[in-house]
Amino acid sequence: SRSRQAPQLAFFVLGKFLRLLSVYALFKFLSARNGTESIVVFTFVCSLVSGALFFIFQRPWHGRPLTTSQIYLTALNGGVLALALLLWGKSLQACGPVRTVLAEYTGAMLGAASTLVLGRGGHKWKKVTSSDSDEQGRVGLGPISMSIAAGTLFALRRIVARRATMKKRLHSITVAAATCFLFPFAMLQLSLGETSPTTEAHGSPAWAYMSTIVFGMVAGFYVDNYAEERLHILATSSEHLLVTSVLLIVLELVIYQMDFSLVGFLICSSLLGFGMLLSRGKHNIL
């Protein structure tokens, strides 16, 4: 069994590495633009292209017609996804990759635990918040809170998708709904001229867009589903966090050689992993 799972684990680790690589690519691009890049426009473009790819891969027009409840839940999920992506992008721009990723896990843990309380009749749970090591100096509570909120919304979106059934088929419609929610805000920013064209000094945005769409949004969805269905590694599990933590250490210390406190990171990720074990208890919500 272990020998059979080795290639599957390797695929999962590779997928998570590529997803984190896209996070660093986006962070580098946003840092180079010095706050002039619109997160709303960037998110809208990525959502639009990834939604088109999901429609090609999943073909949601095939199969049984959607029920009224599924349509409502999918529209709601689209709004939740749009808000989560915006909060996550704002947090990444202000906090950097490590803080954002750990805070996202914190939010996912809180989302799972809150659903456990509401859906199971008040089980006790504990929360652990993370304050990651220095990447760009100190950041305020606001940017970290945005990433925690994004992680909570991502967790709630997965729960709603399960209750709507046909999770994979409806995901393409959910992304399309998120694109519709983002459209008026993106057009408003473009019409007001709040974005500036990329100059040669800022570099080409092609890698940031491509990696976010392909590795972050499309491949990331399939990799997480694969890990959940084949390896039983949930997105809110300590195993999932362990793989991400090891990859973050490699990216920070080996590849990007950023200002990174290994001891502080290990303390924060260990506390977060312990909190995940406590919040899961006897029931697996996600």
What is the rounded distance in angstroms from the CA atom of residue 192 to the CA atom of residue 202?
22
User: Is 255 within the bounds of a domain?
Assistant: no
| pLDDT, position 277 | 82
Is residue 254 assigned to a domain? no
Answer whether residue 123 is part of any domain: no
The reported pLDDT for the residue numbered 250 is 94
- Indicate the pLDDT class of residue 155, thresholds 50, 70 and 90: confident
CB atoms within 10 A of CB 59: 11
The verdict on residue 176 lying in a domain is yes
Tokens representing 69?
A: 């409840």
Q: Which residues of 17-33 are buried (b: 16+ CB within 10 A; e: fewer)?
A: bbbbbbbbbbbebbebb
The answer as to whether 249 is a domain residue is no
For residue 27 the two structure tokens come to 């962070």
pLDDT tens for 108-141 read: 777 666 554 444 433 332 333 433 334 444 556 7
- Structure tokens that stand for 177 in this block: 């709904």
- Residue 235's φ and ψ, nearest 5 degrees, are -65, -20
Residue 52 sits in which domain range?
2-117+142-191+203-233
User: What's the first-to-final CA gap in the chain, in angstroms?
Assistant: 24
Show the tokens assigned to 21. Answer: 């690589």
In a domain, 261, yes or no: no
Please answer whether residues 82 and 47 qualify as being in contact, where contact means their C-beta atoms are separated by less than 8 angstroms. Answer: yes
Kindly tell me if the per-residue pLDDT of 235 is higher than 70: yes
Phi/psi of residue 37, nearest 5 degrees: -85, 130
Question: How many other C-beta atoms lie within 10 A of the C-beta of residue 122?
Answer: 8
- Say how many domains are in the chain: 1
In a domain, 196, yes or no: no
Q: How confident is the model at residue 213 (pLDDT cuts 50, 70, 90)?
A: very high
Confidence check: pLDDT of 38 > 70: yes
Residue 137 lies in a domain: no
34-53 core/surface letters (b: 16 or more CB in 10 A; e: else) = eeebbbbbbbbbbbbbbbeb
